[in-house]
Amino acid sequence: MAEEIQQIVLTPIQGQTCWLALRPSGLCRSDDAGASWQTLLSNEQLASKLARLIVSPDFAHDQRLIVGGQPGIWWSQDGGRSWQPSEIELPLPSITDFAISPDFKRDQTAFAASTADGVLVSYTGGRRWARWNIGLFDHRVLSLAISPNFAHDRTLYAGTSSGLFRSNNSGRSWQEVTTPLGETAITAVQVEKHYEATALVIGGTRAGLFLSLDEGDSWHALGDDQLPASIKAILTSNDGYGLERLWVLAQEQLWLSDDVGASWRRAGLSQSSAAIVALAALVDNGHYKLLVADREGGVQLMERDS
């Protein structure tokens, strides 16, 4: 486990929690809380650097995984035992992020962000992808987030190298959203339901974290000076009132807020002082599970908000 982890994912399957970890060498899976790992996909097979992974919200049934490479996209419908390259028009894009429809089982819709080709959309569960960049004039897309109410509002957000863009028609066209970050790169975006409102949280490279409860019309800072800049990832508890518990990964430190970002404290691995590089969360039977990976390849499950 000495190899750095780029991304980790927690997903429930058959009464257990499955861990998926994306490393420079490939994609691994553990069904025993990290005691043993099975290689699902190696870079030798793909001859490409794996960059990003997305798991179907209905993984327990459809076993659908999609990985983005630099360049290319592959998909699996058997939990990673076999993989097919997706059909994409040349040139192949280098993937930086994915977003998947919460209603994926019905609409088979997923989105991919790329380093130079904007946003790609798939309506076929990852088999075929097409570029849809109408209105998105910055094609260096760093982060994507999809509305939890996507089936009705068809909304998603793209954080780019120079600002934030929103689509209200399933990614067919985009409009720029004015943010307090100006033309700063938006490295992380998260959309959650927060009571009656849809909350949009963004983080940038030079400034901290900002929240909007009106689709980006107005913003306020979360955490003021408590958080470091350069937000890499934003994570919510995903329990229906997502912002009650908010994790942020910034400058390889994990920060936790239990009060919608008003106050923050450092969180981390109890047995490691290594820099944190990836995290994933899951609410399972009312219990928070947070999986944290450090730079040295260590992975640890935090059942409590330690």
Q: List the one residue from 117, 192, 215, 294 that touches other proteins (CB under 8 A).
A: 117
* Minimum gap (Å) between residue 97 Cβ and other proteins: 17
- The single residue among 49, 139, 193, 295 that binds other proteins, judged by CB under 8 A, is 139
Please report, for residues 10, 39, 156, 190, 216, the alpha-carbon distance to residue 180 in angstroms, rounded to integers and kept in the order given: 32, 43, 19, 16, 10
The dihedral through the CA atoms of 269, 272, 274, 279 has a sign that is negative
Write the binding mask 77 to 116 for other proteins: x where contact by CB under 8 A, - elsewhere.
-------------xx------------------------x
Give bridge partners of residue 248 from the DSSP assignment: 234, 255
Nearer to other proteins by C-beta: 135 or 240?
Answer: 135
User: Any contact of residue 198 with other proteins (CB under 8 A)?
Assistant: no
CB count within 10 Å of CB 78 equals: 12
* 52 within 8 A of 22, measured Cβ to Cβ: yes
Report the distance separating Cα 81 and Cα 64, nearest Å: 11
Q: What minimum distance in Å lies between the beta carbon of 163 and other proteins?
A: 8
Query: Which of 103, 176 has the CB closer to other proteins?
Result: 176
Using CB under 8 A as the binding rule, whether residue 172 contacts other proteins is answered as yes
Would you count residue 178 as binding other proteins (CB under 8 A)?
A: no
Tell me which residues in 206-265 interact with other proteins (CB under 8 A). Answer: none
The single residue among 49, 127, 128, 131 that binds other proteins, judged by CB under 8 A, is 131
User: How far is 60 from 81, CA to CA, in rounded Å?
Assistant: 15
Question: What does each C-alpha distance from 283 to 30, 185, 188 come to in angstroms?
Answer: 18, 30, 21
Q: Kindly state whether residue 35 participates in binding other proteins, applying the rule CB under 8 A.
A: no
Give alpha helix (H) positions in 99-234: 104-107, 150-153
By CB under 8 A, residue 173 contacts other proteins: yes
β-pairing verdict for 49-55 and 265-267: unpaired
With CB under 8 A as the contact rule, which of the stretches 62-70, 136-144, 196-204, 268-276 interacts with other proteins? 136-144
Under the binding rule (CB under 8 A), the answer on residue 162 touching other proteins is yes
Size of residue set near other proteins by CB under 8 A: 25
CB atoms within 10 A of CB 262: 11
Measured CA to CA, the distance from residue 178 to residue 176 in angstroms comes to 7
Interface with other proteins, residue 160, by CB under 8 A: yes
Q: In the set 30, 43, 149, 168, which binds other proteins (CB under 8 A)?
A: 168
Stretch that binds other proteins, among 46-54, 73-81, 168-176, 212-220 (CB under 8 A): 168-176
Pairing of strands 26-30, 95-100: unpaired
Minimum CB separation of residue 204 from other proteins in Å reads 14
Stretch that binds other proteins, among 9-17, 159-167, 222-230, 257-265 (CB under 8 A): 159-167
Nearest to 302 by CA among 55, 33, 29, 20: 33
Considering the complex, what minimum distance in angstroms separates the CB of residue 193 from other proteins? 21
SS3 129: strand
Contacts to other proteins by CB under 8 A? 90-91, 116-118, 131, 133-140, 160-163, 168-169, 172-173, 175-176, 183
